[in-house]
């Protein structure tokens, strides 16, 4: 393994450099040399260093401040060592139960389907409003399927009407959760959202450091006929001021045109911002205290912020692309604090 590692890393570096060269004006040889050297001397995985190159404006001095996806897995291991039950964050139904037990506003569960077993089928049969179906645990960014009432049944993206019994029969073969459809507050709708937006807010907490917000971004679905928040603009948010500072849009499919113009996004003040910060800090401190780092998805509705879910993997690259290196936030203090405590003295 040790003997073949430089060769394997060389191949991975070449692949990463080729990808980087296609995406930027960097020359292949220069990128390859930089990526391979970082792998050999600093043990940085080539693909992850390529991501750093893509978002860093100062490669020579900025590396120590940049959090890599590998570092995020390290934070997850620290959470596990502190006694965090990862299932509490990964299972959406479990997450909603924990939030409800602590009096935290959270999107309710209508029904769940797991390995052939289900809960809430009768409640779902009597439901007459729009609803979403999501993966019960990880969805890998796939979003959700939206069902809208029509006639005696419901329709999804294909436009075909189905009875609720037919829908339930199909859900029994999945591992999923069914939740009511939420709507954006008027301010986000006026900004251009055509489906439910989501705010991703990242909190960190140490042994003595109370939960602190270190990054935030808005997924604004501004494509025509968008269904999920991934269909649209990705906006960086200044945590202290609660305003949009950067915009990358549209996401995933560059040939899509937004439903509205984006010139006025920068400087937009996020509604309910202080309430949102207070909500995620409280949720982390009271309901999920043993986790080092979590990425909260928040819906901003007419009545204020509502928790959608929380994430162990919350997108380190995209946040740093939008608002800068996370090593320049309180996250660095938390990591230093946790690493300075001997393992025998940490939570078990």
Residue-wise pLDDT for 249-265, tens only, equals 655 454 455 545 555 79
Residue 161's Cβ-count burial label (10 Å; 0-12, 13-18, 19+) is middle
Which of these three, 128, 149, 180, is where a domain ends?
180
Among positive and negative, which fits the CA dihedral 184, 187, 188, 190?
A: positive
Question: 293 with 331: CB under 8 angstroms?
Answer: yes
Return the top range by mean pLDDT from 133-142, 259-268, 274-283, 314-323. Answer: 274-283
195 and 310 in a single domain? The answer is yes
Residue 179 confidence (pLDDT) above 70: yes
237 and 267 in a single domain? The answer is yes
pLDDT of residue 335: 85
Which of these three, 180, 209, 232, is where a domain ends?
180
Question: 86 with 79: CB under 8 angstroms?
Answer: yes
22 and 152 in a single domain? The answer is no
Can you tell me which residue has the tokens 């291991």?
A: 77
CA distance 307 to 107: 6
222 and 200 in a single domain? The answer is yes
101 and 199 in a single domain? The answer is yes
**Position 255 in a domain:** yes
CA distance 301 to 193: 12
Q: Model pTM? A: 0.83
Query: What percentage of the chain has pLDDT greater than the value 70?
Result: 82
Which of these three, 136, 165, 180, is where a domain ends?
180
DSSP state, residue 283: I
156 and 248 in a single domain? The answer is no
pLDDT of residue 320: 87
304 and 321 in a single domain? The answer is yes
Q: Which two tokens stand for residue 272?
A: 């309910």
**Position 64 in a domain:** no
pLDDT of residue 143: 53
203 and 282 in a single domain? The answer is yes
171 and 202 in a single domain? The answer is no
What's the domain range around 122? 111-180
């Amino acid at each position: 393994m040790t003997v073949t590692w430089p060769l394997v890393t060389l191949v991975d570096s070449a692949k990463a450099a080729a990808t980087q060269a296609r995406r930027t004006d960097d020359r292949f040889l220069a990128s390859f040399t930089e990526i391979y050297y970082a792998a050999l001397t600093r043990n940085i995985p080539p693909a992850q260093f390529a991501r750093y190159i893509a978002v860093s404006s100062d490669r020579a001095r900025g590396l120590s401040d940049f959090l890599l996806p590998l570092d995020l897995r390290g934070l997850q291991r620290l959470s596990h060592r502190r006694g965090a039950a990862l299932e509490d964050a990964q299972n959406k139904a479990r997450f909603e139960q924990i939030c409800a037990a602590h009096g935290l506003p959270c999107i309710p569960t209508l029904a769940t389907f797991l390995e052939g077993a289900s809960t809430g089928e009768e409640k779902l049969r009597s439901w007459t409003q729009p609803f979403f179906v999501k993966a019960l645990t990880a969805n890998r960014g796939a979003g959700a399927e939206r069902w809208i009432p029509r006639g005696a049944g419901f329709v999804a993206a294909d436009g075909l009407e189905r009875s609720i019994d037919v829908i339930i029969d199909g859900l029994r073969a999945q591992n999923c959760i069914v939740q009511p459809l939420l709507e954006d507050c008027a301010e986000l709708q006026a900004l251009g959202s055509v489906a439910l937006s989501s705010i991703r807010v990242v909190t960190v907490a140490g042994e003595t450091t109370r939960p602190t917000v270190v990054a935030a971004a808005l997924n604004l679905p501004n494509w025509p006929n968008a269904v999920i928040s991934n269909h649209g603009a990705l906006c960086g948010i200044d945590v202290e001021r609660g305003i949009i500072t950067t915009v990358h849009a549209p996401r995933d499919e560059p040939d899509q045109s937004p439903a509205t113009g984006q010139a006025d996004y920068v400087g937009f003040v996020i509604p309910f911002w202080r309430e949102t910060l207070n909500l995620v800090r409280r949720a982390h401190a009271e309901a999920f205290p043993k986790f080092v780092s979590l990425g909260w998805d928040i819906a901003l509705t007419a009545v204020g912020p509502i928790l959608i879910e929380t994430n162990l993997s919350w997108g380190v690259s995209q946040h740093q692309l939008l608002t800068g290196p996370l090593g320049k936030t309180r996250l660095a203090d938390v990591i230093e604090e946790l690493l300075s405590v001997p393992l025998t003295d940490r939570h078990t």
